[in-house]
Amino acid sequence: MARKKIRLRQLYWILGLTLLGIILAPLVRLLWHPTPPPQTAAPEPPLPWRVTLDGRGHPVVFGLAVEGSTVADARRHLGEDGQWAILAREGSAPVLEAYYPDFTAGYIEGKLILRFAGEPALLEREFARRSKKSPTAGGARKVELKESELAPFAGLELTLITFLPKASLDETVIRERFGPPAHVWEEEESGTRHYLYPERGIHVLREARGRTVIEYAAPERLRRHAPAQH
């Protein structure tokens, strides 16, 4: 009888240890092979063809929204390395322009030009009161501004983004990256070829020499830009 009780006690111990092992095994595995922390997806680089639309259907690219971002927004986002100037052309309201000669869009190097408009009286007054004016290649005249002079223009609204990549984009790359354009045409005299995506706010120009210019503007502006015959 005593031997039977001992055997039963041993059996209970064996069962208890077995259950304890089953319970502790996952914990031991977890200690030796801890669960790796969840990986967050790396943010996508701001490539020229990665364009989203805001609530009004205006393009957002390089972290800036056309007719949404301001001078103050651009300076916060891009830093204070821009070259600023007021441009005036006969018959047109003056505009404020920022030029970033060393801009990288993801892995694509190039130049970035931002154009801001609004408060024409302020721009006209500031342009007129400066004596040093110089011509531009496009036929306008400009006065350069220092960073310390930009405070009055902080609220001007971004109306046009122009990116000039160093590398030339041929037609195959343009169609692969930006998709099928709504309008394509070529200027007879210059040979410049246009690829227009008005609903996305994108206008790609490829000059005969191979240089590529990419513009981002409000869709309604690009719709007016598209020739009726195209």
Percent residues over pLDDT 90 in the chain? 63
- Whether the CB-CB separation of 171 and 160 falls below 8 Å is answered with no
What pTM was estimated for this model as a whole?
A: 0.79
Query: Which residue is associated with the tokens 């000059």?
Result: 207
Domain segments of the chain: what residues? 1-35, 52-225
pLDDT surpassing 90 at residue 137: no
Residue 172 amino acid letter:
T
* Best-predicted range by mean pLDDT (24-38, 127-141, 180-194): 180-194
Q: Which pLDDT does position 94 carry in this prediction?
A: 92
24-58, pLDDT tens digit by residue? 555 545 444 555 555 555 566 789 999 999 999 99
- Whether the CB-CB separation of 161 and 60 falls below 8 Å is answered with no
Choose among 146, 100, 99: nearest CA to 126.
Answer: 146
Q: Which two tokens stand for residue 6?
A: 């001992």
d(CA 30, CA 104): 44
Min mean pLDDT across 8-12, 60-64, 106-110, 225-229 is at 8-12
